[in-house]
Amino acid sequence: MAEQRRPDLAAMLGGLMRTLMAAESPVLAEHGLTMWGYVVLSALDDRPVRTQAALAKAIGADKTRIIGTLDVLQEDGLINREPDPADRRVRLLEITDAGRKARRSAQTRIQAQENRLLAQLPAGDREAFLRAAHVLSEIERN
Amino acid sequence: MAEQRRPDLAAMLGGLMRTLMAAESPVLAEHGLTMWGYVVLSALDDRPVRTQAALAKAIGADKTRIIGTLDVLQEDGLINREPDPADRRVRLLEITDAGRKARRSAQTRIQAQENRLLAQLPAGDREAFLRAAHVLSEIERN
DNA sequence: TATTGTTATACTCTATAACTATA
DNA sequence: TATAGTTATAGAGTATAACAATA
């Protein structure tokens, strides 16, 4: 159980993130999506989020930061966004069919890119890596 | 070998990075270091980098972006930075004893934090995760 | 008075280009 | 003229606070 010397985890993941972003941003651009646009569509596709405040919290962003993104997604017909009749302060959010289609198309391409990177790992490590990433990404999300 | 549905790797790692940064930035602050200051000290400690241009390339930063960081590190006595007698355009960089001490103290604390996170994984996954992160972080660095 | 979403402001980061001092 | 480092400028991204409209 002795700790071995190793590079900082944050440094390794930071480098990997740069590689991933470089590979994926052209795919997003082809789909006419920004990174934040893709993040928002993904959040709305994976689980319904009623309000902008709930969405902001779900993706770890400030409520003011997502407004421009929502404006564009709405203009592009990728989300619906309308006042809640029961409480007209609130805007109800919903991904449209076009939004779902765009997101899933982008995701397929993005995960294919990711899989090409992951293919450089032995199968056992690859599975453990994804499993571990999933566990660790959910930590402190409370 | 069928691909399973999974969350995007970039999304998982992005969330984990946020967790790591939140945990580690207080440690850096206690040591009087910025994130970039720590990155620079680490690069200079791990392998000698002669010039600012070489350092910038090694850490994936623009040459103009590191200048302010170097100014502070030099003022604080954590690095030496002097013109190369053989080519006075070049500044030779070197970590000082104080710099090495600060870096290693910070790194010990940072890795302890990281190990607490990693402790939530089964031992096999933890080792595979670190191994995979190391392999993947070195990709495309050419 | 409190809450949701919006706008305005300022601040930080970063990228680009212009500059200097050497070679 | 080319290169290492620096400075200046402007642009993007973000955070904070003030605001409008509801409740």
Minimal C-alpha gap between A51 and chain B (Å): 21
pTM of the predicted protein model: 0.90
Contact indicator for A27, A35 with CB cutoff of 8 Å: no
Nucleic acid strand C: bases within 7 A of protein CB: 3-8, 14-17, 21-23
Contact indicator for B39, B103 with CB cutoff of 8 Å: no
Tell me the per-residue pLDDT of A7-47, one tens digit each, with 9 for 90 and over: 999 999 998 998 999 899 999 999 999 999 999 999 999 98
- Identify the CA nearest to A13 among candidates B96, B26, B12: B12
CB atoms B111 and A6 under 8 Å: yes
Minimum-distance CB partner of B17 among A3, A17, A124 = A17
Angle at which helix B97-118 crosses helix A9-30, to 10 degrees, equals 70
Tell me the per-residue pLDDT of B47-59, one tens digit each, with 9 for 90 and over: 889 999 999 999 9
Question: At residue B28, does pLDDT exceed 80?
Answer: yes
B residues 25-44 lying closer than 8 A (beta carbon) to A: 39, 42
Which residues in chain A are closer than 8 Å to B134, comparing Cβ atoms? 6-7, 12
| Amino acid occupying residue B124 | G
| Amino acid occupying residue A137 | S
Contact indicator for A16, B12 with CB cutoff of 8 Å: no
Tell me the per-residue pLDDT of A51-109, one tens digit each, with 9 for 90 and over: 999 999 999 899 999 999 999 999 999 999 999 999 999 999 999 999 999 999 999 99
| CB-based contact, B128 to chain A, within 8 Å | yes
CB atoms A125 and B110 under 8 Å: no
Helix (H, G, I), strand (E, B) or coil at B113: helix
Nucleic acid strand D: bases within 7 A of protein CB: 3-8, 14-17, 21-23
CB atoms B3 and A111 under 8 Å: yes
Angle at which helix A9-30 crosses helix A97-118, to 10 degrees, equals 130
Tell me the per-residue pLDDT of A117-140, one tens digit each, with 9 for 90 and over: 999 999 999 999 999 999 999 886
Question: At residue A141, does pLDDT exceed 60?
Answer: no
- Identify the CA nearest to A81 among candidates A69, A95, A68: A95
A residues 68-127 lying closer than 8 A (beta carbon) to B: 107, 110-111, 114-115, 117-118, 120-121, 124-126
Maximum distance among all Cα pairs of chain B, rounded to whole angstroms? 60
Task: Give, for A92, the enclosing helix (H) or strand (E).
Answer: strand A87-95
Question: At residue B133, does pLDDT exceed 50?
Answer: yes
Angle at which helix B9-30 crosses helix A9-30, to 10 degrees, equals 140
Question: At residue B142, does pLDDT exceed 50?
Answer: no
Task: Give, for B83, the enclosing helix (H) or strand (E).
Answer: strand B79-84
A29, burial (CB in 10 Å: exposed 0-12, middle 13-18, buried 19+): exposed
Radius of gyration for the alpha carbons in chain A, expressed in angstroms and rounded: 18
pLDDT score, position B60: 87
| CB-based contact, A17 to chain B, within 8 Å | yes
Residue A92 CA and nucleotide D17 C1' are separated, in Å, by 25
| CA distance linking residue B10 with residue B13, whole number of Å | 5
